[in-house]
Structure 1
Amino acid sequence: MDKLYWLDQIKLQDRAKVGDKAFYLSRIMQRGYPVVPGFVVGAEVLQQFLENLNSSESLVADLPHSSLYLDVNNWRQLQQVAGRLRQEIVTATVPLSWVGKILSAAREWDSDYLIFRPTVMVPSATKAGNISGLLESVFCPCNPDAIASGLKRTWSQLFRAKSLLYWQRAGIELKRVNFAVLIQPVRNAIASGLFHANTSGWEISATWGLGVAIANGEVLPDVYYIHPETGQLIEQQLGSKILAYRIENSANKDSLQPVTPSVLTLDNHCLVAYLLEESKQKQYALQAEYLQQVIMLGNQLVSELGSEFDIEWTISQVSPVPKLYLTQVSAPQSAIPNVQIIKGIGAARGRVTANAYVIANSQLKPEQLPQGVILVAKAITPDWLPILQKVIGIITEKGGLTSHAAILARELGIPAVVSATDVTALIQPGERLLVDGDRGEVSRVREDITLERIVAKSGSAENIDFDDNHAISNPWQSPPLRSSGIPSQPLIGTQLLLNLSQSSLIEQVKSLPVDGVGLLRSELMMLTVLEGQHPNSWLADGRQTELLELWTEEIIQFACGFAPRTVLYRSLDWRSHELPSATQEHQSTSQAVLGDRGIFSYLLNPAIFELELAALANVQKAGYSNVNLMLPFVRSVEEFSLCQQKVVQAGLTQLPQFQLWIMAEVPSVLFLLPEYVKAGVAGISIGSNDLTQLLLGVDREQEQLARRFNELQPAVMSAIAQLIEMSKDAGIPCTICGQAPVLYPEIIDRLVQWGITAISVEPEAVERTYHAIARAEHRLILEAARRQLRGG
């Protein structure tokens, strides 16, 4: 037995292992409803137990894999087979390690007694029908012997004659029945009962004590009829309640008159039935305050389960105040098993609805994807970029706002949600989804729900365009904000630049109101060109000239598309494990967060960097003077100087307009910037993503930490302010190209106030960033004017 499944931690992929009863309870418990705590001994444990049965019976030896087809019309044979099977189970030995694990977990509740509830999942719920009356719960004391016995007695119910008859009549092979055991603490109850809801009305039934009396049909419970819309009591009928059930203990052992104990009591030590006093037989089991609690709980569950459902409840005698608990939930399958809204982090704005294409194993990159699907994957690496051109939405389990999936989605204008826990297990291939990149939500779309209703439910139709494929929103295809034809738009002094990598987007974005490209991500730009191969493979195959030509052509497209505006080309910045996957021999075996980042990799493998510089030189020779070079992840002045020598050797500095910049993302730049400027750095671009990661020690790609990746943290803000001030003192421009201004627009006020030269963002953020800069500059002008007036 590898693990126990705690109710408050059960996930959708655990459903077959824990059975429907436990799964439904876990769904409700995890939404904040009062459910008795518990854990599940999974269906795989029974499988292991049966496989290890040491029996000479051939029927038993093959039991885990047997379909056990019987002539169920031969009642004598059915009884004999069922008896033999159950005898083998109840006389077998449960491993001590299993009992110890269950006992250790159960002691967390400080309860002397436990209840073992069968919880089953069968291949087809509709095929199986209702099995609620087929299997009963078993009560036992919380001690090793009783736990072992209780477990076996619960398991043995699977092989009762009526159970075997049922499985065969339903056409269900026994080996396909997933039989688990839900274990919970059990305490005495004031009252217990059922709540049945449907569209015509609500019906509550109740009896004194534990609910066993109703399950056994030994009492006629009280019944309350409730109006479903008002929650008002319409009518009540007193039942016939002669006996009740309780857990035996020293406090009540002699105070009540016992009757014949239940067949599910183990060794008569636990569950006992007792005769109710005549006065109690004439009273309703639910006092007014408890009745209102049950009604209120039912009213809350309508929003979760719909208008038709059944629950079992109990009012436990816990100190200091009795408490209402749910013990079982039954509802139409669509109400509980599938979480209707999956939460994540909104990584790229917009909404889209389409069918899901699920890739559970992110190590296996698909060769191609269907057109117009929503890609659901654990994670997306940069080499997936060529195949992302066909998808219209992205959902990932891992990664944060600065992960590659998020960056690629924002650049391509694809709505995306990242860090959506277990989404590859929760979503089925082909399922219809609505991805809301603004809210960070993924919703299932029923075929009978129109898109208009979805939008209405989400609260806004802003940025939504309907088409035949139900694709919604292209968040950055908006008219230019700054042009001579629109004089009403405010002019801004702070430069607004683009983060870009895909030449296919140039025509769409070059008319946006930007001053150029502030970050041309070369590693993403080259992925399509490289055809999934590492550049070293091209060189090894003698294709250096071909690669140089393709590299040059790619850069020229950006130079031409944005001329005369500046393009800041950032040289290759792959981490070791992000390199194209087709040539693993060229990759570092390290899966470290940093890997051989930035210019350090150029010193290890200068041939690729020299080829990259040759491509930039070719761009200059072609007559383009608007491309400058930015070096990534610079750690030391010595590293920079070695790269600078190669830049000079390539002839790039012969063009007077050419500038050599660095990314300011390694914290050492806070101490070394004056030295960098002396060495020849013409400008810096603050990479707030990596700067935050390194200052705070937070891996932005790690799911658990992604939500704590906060660029507003005082240490990060102080570092950015310091870099801007040092740049002004050195007389060089300072831009910022990380996600901080996009994720937290409120810091644009501070950036402008500190004197940032430019802000570079993805295309989808251009419009709102432009307006945020305009507002910030306007405030500064007003404040300066007010100070002047006060001074006058």
Structure 2
Amino acid sequence: LMSVRECWASLFTPRAIFYRDQNKIPHDKVKISVIVQKMVQSEVSGVMFSINPVTNEKDSIVIESVWGLGEMIVQGSVVPDTYVVQKETFSILSKVISDQKVMLTRKGEKTEERDVPKTIIDKQKISDADIVKLAKISNALQKHYYFPQDSEWAYEKGKIYIVQTRPVTTIEGVGKKISDNTDGVKDENQVNTPILSGAAASPGIGTGYVKILQGPKEISKVKTGDVLVAKMTSPDYVPAMKKAVAIVTDEGGLTSHAAIVSRELGIPCVVGTKNATKTLTDNAVITVDGSKGLVYTGGKVSRSIKKKVEQKLEFEDTKTATKLYVNLAEPERAKEISKMNVQGVGLLRAEFMIANIGIHPKEAIQQKKQDVFISKLEKGLEEFTKAFSPRPVVYRATDFKTNEYRSLPGGEKWEPNEANPMLGFRGAYRYISHPEVFNLELQAMKNVRKKYKNLWMMIPFVRSPEELKKVRRLVATEGFFEDPTFKFWMMVEIPINVIMIDEFIKVGIDGVSIGSNDLTMLVTGTDRDNAEVSSSFNERSPAVMWSLRRVIKHCNRAKVTSSVCGQAPSTYDDFARKLVKYGVTSMSINPDAVDRVRGVIKQAEKDLAKGNI
């Protein structure tokens, strides 16, 4: 009972109070439930993020692990192993193996610290096969919850247990400049060789005077613009952390207190340096590169260190002939990302909003809750259209597969079990088969368009021109085409869309958006989610590039907008350059890649004008 009380009391720890104050959440409006579960006597434990928590790159999964129970990794009292996995192929991109001399284990009803056996102090905590297995679980959790996940796991007797998962709470304001606090200290010493290295825990560059803290009682030493250096931080350090220009710690990983709070505050941070408190001296001038996990002496930052920051700022306001849109799903991010220099939302995924409504649409209809369903979807759509107005928001109608629909409350009653949902009951065919469900989306859109005319529609997974005609009739019945501001797009993600593109255009569409992810799978016959063949998944395959070129060429000839919204232009610079060469109208990019891709497009357009591409 005392443990349960302590859990309830944790609602009012200094860190919890600080978080609510920072986010303007009333203290009397929060509640907490305590889940009691059997404890896993873990041989290895850790955390994993379905996106990179430091850079917010969505194409990588980050896993940390320690010997023993996971409390040490959360407290930051040891430096964990860190493994980075590529999300598309599940190939291991990097591994950082850290020595661990002490571990936490269970003894009776309590836990105790004990020495790690000497034979495994410097060993990798889990096998490569288990790293890949964890990465797949992390990816599956994100797909299930439709939001990046921060998950805790434990490994016991050959089994992996997921003991907690929650949304990533430190997704950075992507439209915000990378922290570059290097002007507050006058020091001409420039050293390009780092004196310390650790885990890159919070991006940005900060220069200041070192203030080494041996404990929270010394936080008054830190003045505005100093670099806080400590063995590890705790909630008691937060007042000093808010003043610091950068933070460096001896211990901890990407989920330690110092790392999480630094990301929340937007302060550059390097953790797990092992000996920062011994190597550095008070009042010395240092530069902290939180993006690379490096610490330099001196205050004059070299060109190479600043390169990433300057590239981002250089292209932030650049104008290009090729339009740049963003891919979005979460209404909570609409206002923030709308501040970016983009022409609108090129792919607004419906699935996140539909999942948050909390009921299968057919179940809502049966329970006569259509108005609730429509109202909630309308609210989500309005968040985007209001934030981006007058820039267009291209809403892709629901593209849940049957296995995903089944996971919605009430879904098991309505959805079949399909052997291959990827090629099953989805997209346009589903709207034709269940027009009453599709009409819920149309009604929500109609209500939003009464106030915001920048909401357009895009139809996914269209298997034939005849299907497109039938869906277009459903949309026309609701009067959408009577307003010339309404635009009707189609996804190009099936080989038939490429082969018969002219026939689809004749049906009457204003634009197409090429989904390079699904198109690559279906053109090359490769399931990117299947580890056995995922290494063959290649968005830059000659067959895929031929398909892109053909669609763009035929759209340009018919004066129809062409866009690409898959992962490839966000990831591969050469892919984006080829799209410019082909004459694509626009690209829709992940928010974290917008400024970089804009620079690639600008250079490609210059090269094209000179005949160099």
Distance 1:612 1:667 in 2: 27
The 1:661/1:463 distance shift into structure 2, 3 A limit, reads: same
1:554 maps to what in 2? 380
Distance 2:495 2:256 in 1: 52
Distance 1:573 1:670 in 2: 19
- Which of residues 603, 608, 612 in structure 1 aligns to 2:432? 603
Distance 1:396 1:664 in 2: 42
- Other structure's SS at 1:662 match: strand
- Other structure's SS at 2:533 match: helix
2:21 maps to what in 1? none
Tell me, yes or no, if structure 1 residue 335 matches structure 2 residue 164: no
Shift of 1:727: 0.9
Shift of 1:768: 0.8
Distance 1:764 1:539 in 2: 38
After TM superposition, the structure 1 = structure 2 runs for residues 267-666 of structure 1, keeping only pairs within 5 Å, are 331-336=118-123, 338-339=125-126, 377=138, 379-380=140-141, 382-385=143-146, 391-392=149-150, 452=270, 454=272, 461-463=289-291, 489-528=317-356, 530-531=357-358, 533-579=359-405, 580-583=407-410, 584-594=412-422, 595-620=424-449, 622-666=450-494
- Which of residues 690, 701, 710 in structure 1 aligns to 2:538? 710
Q: Which amino acid aligns with 2:459?
A: L
1:206 maps to what in 2? none
The 1:615/1:378 distance shift into structure 2, 3 A limit, reads: closer
Cα contact 1:340–1:444 (8 A) shared by 2: no
- Other structure's SS at 2:393 match: strand
Distance 1:504 1:612 in 2: 20
1:226 maps to what in 2? none
1:782 maps to what in 2? 610
Q: Which amino acid aligns with 1:575?
A: K
The 1:599/1:437 distance shift into structure 2, 3 A limit, reads: farther
The 1:306/1:566 distance shift into structure 2, 3 A limit, reads: closer
Deviations 1:483-542 (A, max 9, x none): xxx9994321110001001110012101101000000001122221x22x2111111111
Cα contact 1:665–1:686 (8 A) shared by 2: yes
Distance 1:764 1:604 in 2: 38
Q: Which amino acid aligns with 1:716?
A: V
The 1:757/1:650 distance shift into structure 2, 3 A limit, reads: same
Distance 1:336 1:492 in 2: 50
Distance 1:705 1:414 in 2: 36
Deviations 1:65-105 (A, max 9, x none): xxxxxxxxxxxxxxxxxxxxxxxxxxxxxxxxxxxxxxxxx
Deviations 1:432-465 (A, max 9, x none): x979999xxxx978999997354799xx945379
The 1:572/1:410 distance shift into structure 2, 3 A limit, reads: farther
Deviations 1:290-329 (A, max 9, x none): xxxxxxxxxxxxx999899xxxxxxxxxxxxxxxxxxxxx
Cα contact 2:344–2:392 (8 A) shared by 1: yes
Gaps of 5+ in 1: 1-12, 17-122, 124-302, 309-329, 346-357, 363-375, 398-407, 416-432, 467-477, 788-792
Distance 2:501 2:581 in 1: 21
The 1:563/1:455 distance shift into structure 2, 3 A limit, reads: farther
Name the TM-score, length of structure 2 as normaliser.
Answer: 0.55
Cα contact 1:479–1:512 (8 A) shared by 2: no
Shift of 1:647: 0.4
Distance 2:154 2:337 in 1: 26
Deviations 1:194-247 (A, max 9, x none): xxxxxxxxxxxxxxxxxxxxxxxxxxxxxxxxxxxxxxxxxxxxxxxxxxxxxx
After TM superposition, the structure 1 = structure 2 runs for residues 17-416 of structure 1, keeping only pairs within 5 Å, are 331-336=118-123, 338-339=125-126, 377=138, 379-380=140-141, 382-385=143-146, 391-392=149-150
Cα contact 2:453–2:485 (8 A) shared by 1: yes
Distance 1:601 1:435 in 2: 46
The 1:411/1:576 distance shift into structure 2, 3 A limit, reads: farther
Tell me, yes or no, if structure 1 residue 768 matches structure 2 residue 593: no
Distance 1:570 1:735 in 2: 13
Among the aligned pairs, what percent are the same residue? 26
Distance 1:537 1:589 in 2: 17
Deviations 1:374-421 (A, max 9, x none): xx64722644137x5xx5579999xxxxxxxxxx98996699xxxxxx
- Other structure's SS at 1:569 match: strand
Distance 1:385 1:454 in 2: 31
The 1:396/1:750 distance shift into structure 2, 3 A limit, reads: farther
2:208 maps to what in 1? none
Distance 2:316 2:256 in 1: 45
Cα contact 2:200–2:292 (8 A) shared by 1: no
The 1:745/1:632 distance shift into structure 2, 3 A limit, reads: same
Shift of 1:664: 0.5
Cα contact 2:526–2:537 (8 A) shared by 1: yes
Q: Which amino acid aligns with 1:332?
A: T
Q: Greater relative contact order (Cα 8 A, min sep 6): structure 1 or 2?
A: 2
Distance 2:533 2:173 in 1: 24
Cα contact 1:381–1:578 (8 A) shared by 2: no
The 1:612/1:581 distance shift into structure 2, 3 A limit, reads: closer
The 1:446/1:543 distance shift into structure 2, 3 A limit, reads: closer
Distance 1:446 1:334 in 2: 21
Shift of 1:333: 3.1
* Residue correspondences, number: 389
2:577 maps to what in 1? 749
Cα contact 1:480–1:512 (8 A) shared by 2: no
Cα contact 1:576–1:591 (8 A) shared by 2: no
The 1:543/1:772 distance shift into structure 2, 3 A limit, reads: same
The 1:487/1:752 distance shift into structure 2, 3 A limit, reads: closer
Distance 1:555 1:304 in 2: 45
- Other structure's SS at 2:513 match: strand
Name the TM-score, length of structure 1 as normaliser.
Answer: 0.43
- Structure with larger Rg: 1
Cα contact 1:516–1:567 (8 A) shared by 2: yes
Shift of 1:771: 1.0
Shift of 1:554: 1.6
Q: Which amino acid aligns with 2:361?
A: P
Shift of 1:645: 0.5
- Other structure's SS at 2:146 match: helix
The 1:629/1:449 distance shift into structure 2, 3 A limit, reads: closer
Distance 1:686 1:377 in 2: 27
Distance 2:454 2:340 in 1: 18
Distance 2:529 2:122 in 1: 34
Distance 2:394 2:273 in 1: 40
- Other structure's SS at 1:332 match: helix
Shift of 1:589: 0.9
1:726 maps to what in 2? 554
Distance 2:611 2:540 in 1: 24
- Other structure's SS at 2:588 match: strand
Shift of 1:763: 0.9
Cα contact 1:667–1:691 (8 A) shared by 2: yes
